Amino acid sequence: MASSPRLRLVYDGECPICRRYVRWQRIRKEVGELELIDARQDSEARQELTALGIDLDQGFALQIGKRWYHGSEALHRLTLLGTRSGVFNRLMYRLFASPGRAARIYPLLRACRNGLLRVLGKPRIGTTRHW
């Protein structure tokens, strides 16, 4: 039996919206196990993303196998891996199964996240600089 590809999601663990999203998002069992990584903690994944020039303040990152997806593309791919069970997952599928729709909506989601973190007084990922 072939092993599942590596699945890792690097997200902002201090963002209430991001935390809730990863808690509610469910991927299909046959896809494999999704490893959740807090972008604010030092990790091999965060170091790899930094080396690739991926800014985690501009969006979360999803690794499938050896390839990284970022921002709206990561949201779109994660949606395709997700189940269609439950209101949340069905809504995510309706909104983000289309890569074009995900690309149009994602900047609004990112702006909401950045605004919320600013209000909460949280610094940017990996720095002590505030928004």
What pLDDT is attached to residue 1? 46
Burial class (CB in 10 A: 0-12, 13-18, 19+), 46: buried
Distance of alpha carbon 47 from alpha carbon 49, whole angstroms: 5
What pLDDT is attached to residue 126? 77
pLDDT along the chain (131 residues), means of 10: 79 95 88 93 95 95 97 96 91 96 96 96 82 64
Give the Cβ contact number of residue 48 at 10 Å: 15
Bridge partners for 64 per DSSP: 7, 67
DSSP 3-state assignment of 68?
A: strand
Helix (H) / strand (E) element for 8: namely strand 7-11
